[in-house]
Chains A and B, each alone.
Chain A
Amino acid sequence: MRYLIAIFAELLISATLHAGFYQNWDSKYLLVNRWAYPEARLTGYLFDAFIDPKNNTLIMMLFRDGIKLISKDGISDLAKIGQGPGEIARWSAISLEGDHLIIFEATGKIIYYRRNISSFTYEKTNWLRWGTEFPVIRGAVKLNNKYYITGFSLKSEPSTTNSEAFFLTIFNDNGLLIKQLIWKNFKGFWRGPPLLTSHIQQHGSEVWVILESEPTLYIIDTREDKVKREVNLETPVGFKPIGDYMPVDKYTISTLQKKYEEWVLSYSRIERFIITDNYLILQARTCNNSGPKYFVMLYDVETFALKETYLTDHLLLAENDGHYYFLANGDPGLDENACSVDIRIYKGRGK
């Protein structure tokens, strides 16, 4: 009976997506430009991406490739891979603060690059002086001389049935721990925290955080460094929430690597989170093998009401001045046909 219900639900979702319940992104937004460099290959998961508005350059950080700078004029790499000054290894997150591009390493190393005429040059290095409360860095923002870092930080040694973790850690400018926020308890799901990516964006004087596993927005007051508000965001029909399913029987590195992708593609995982003047935008997997890969969900940035939902196969990277930048065919780490640099730039029709 349970199988029948599951099959029926699957058919219903599939039918919903195919029946044009939601429009395709292309039907509402017009492809206005394309930066395609087929000779340049991309490998590994996308860690983060944004537009540097001053020189209209797309900055992307990928798990294997490091940092790429992409514009209409070409593609280049930023920072050599290594352990020396200005070099990167175990890169984890990237952030833009004024004229500084800030790179965060898993080691706690923070590398500052300063914008010059056409690119960025190395300026200085800071370190997070973490004790035992170190986070695994998944995203970072620098605001009010503080570092806001998303990624799990275990509260206690995980057991086979339980684990607790904080998902936001705040350090001061000297790299000293100020506070940990967004505590989660994973009962019967102890492998969860190390695998979960979390997204962070600055919005005015606030920091907004979303975990990939749930469409809940955490609004952080950066003056008092506390969670000001939690907003449960509405999801579209066909959105498949995370369940208890975790296809890893035993916690070993090899089983995790083999099963990780199976797991992250098994639910509507939130892969991108960006904020524009009017919208909070989430991009999540549809988990529909025969239809488009992603939902693009546009929420009102003031009321958080779900305004529009679109379907697409491309991965939303960034928005700047009404232009939306997508990487064709998805995430290079998860989607086999997303391996070359093909940036598609869309703009609203009639805008």
Chain B
Amino acid sequence: MKLRKQSKDILLDSSIIIMTTLVLIVCYFRFIKRDENSFECRSFEEIKILDRKGNEKRIIELSNARGESYVLFLEINSCPSCIFKGFNELRSLMDEGKTAFAVVIHDWFEEWSSWAASYESFPVYLMRRETYHNHIFSPYMPVLVKFNKNKVAKYRYVY
């Protein structure tokens, strides 16, 4: 009888240890360790971008606060075929009536403005590199990000 109780205790203790270890592992990977391949966006509501005329806007003025928004983040120097693919995806989303726009990370307004003339039919905005570093982490671009109520819901690198 005593022996059976002892073995029950051991089993219980072992289960507690295993469960605690599992919880710790999950917490570490979910909340502590940063996945180097993941896209991150901090303080979305504070991000400022420029439109084609050079007017500063907060990104939340363009996004859908109550639903989905799609943002294509890219650089002018991203691979050309990836940029085209990204814009084609943006076009499909726009055709479906979704809130979708592109944000180009660049520091020179004139340069960006001339480049953006090739994409006149798209809503394209400029984000300064400093803003990008303060708010966004992306190991690769272009990246198409789905925001739900201004929070990152999904993302996909376009290549």
* Chain A interfacial positions (CB closer than 8 Å to B): 83-85, 89-90, 106-109, 125-130, 132, 134, 136, 175
Contacts and interface: CB of A to CB of B under 8 A. Distances in A.
A-B interface, 4 closest residue pairs, ranked by CB to CB distance from nearest? A129-B118, A89-B77, A127-B114, A84-B108
A81 to B, nearest CB: 11
A89 B80 CA distance: 13
B13 interface: no
A130 B84 CA distance: 10
Contact of B80 (A85, A107, A127): A107
A108 B110 CA distance: 15
Interface of B: 75-77, 80-81, 84, 88, 106-108, 110-111, 114-115, 117-118
Contacts of A85: 108, 110-111
B115 A127 contact: yes
Given A83-B77, A107-B76, A134-B84, A129 B107 contact: no
A107 B77 contact: yes
A125 B111 contact: yes
A345 B76 CA distance: 40
Contacts of A125: 111, 114
A126 B77 CA distance: 15
A85 B110 CA distance: 9
B147 to A, nearest CB: 26
A83 B111 contact: yes
Given A83-B77, A90-B77, A107 B115 contact: yes
Contacts of A84: 107-108, 111
Nearest to A253: B159
Contact of A134 (B76, B80, B106, B107): B80
B110 A136 contact: no
Contacts of A90: 77
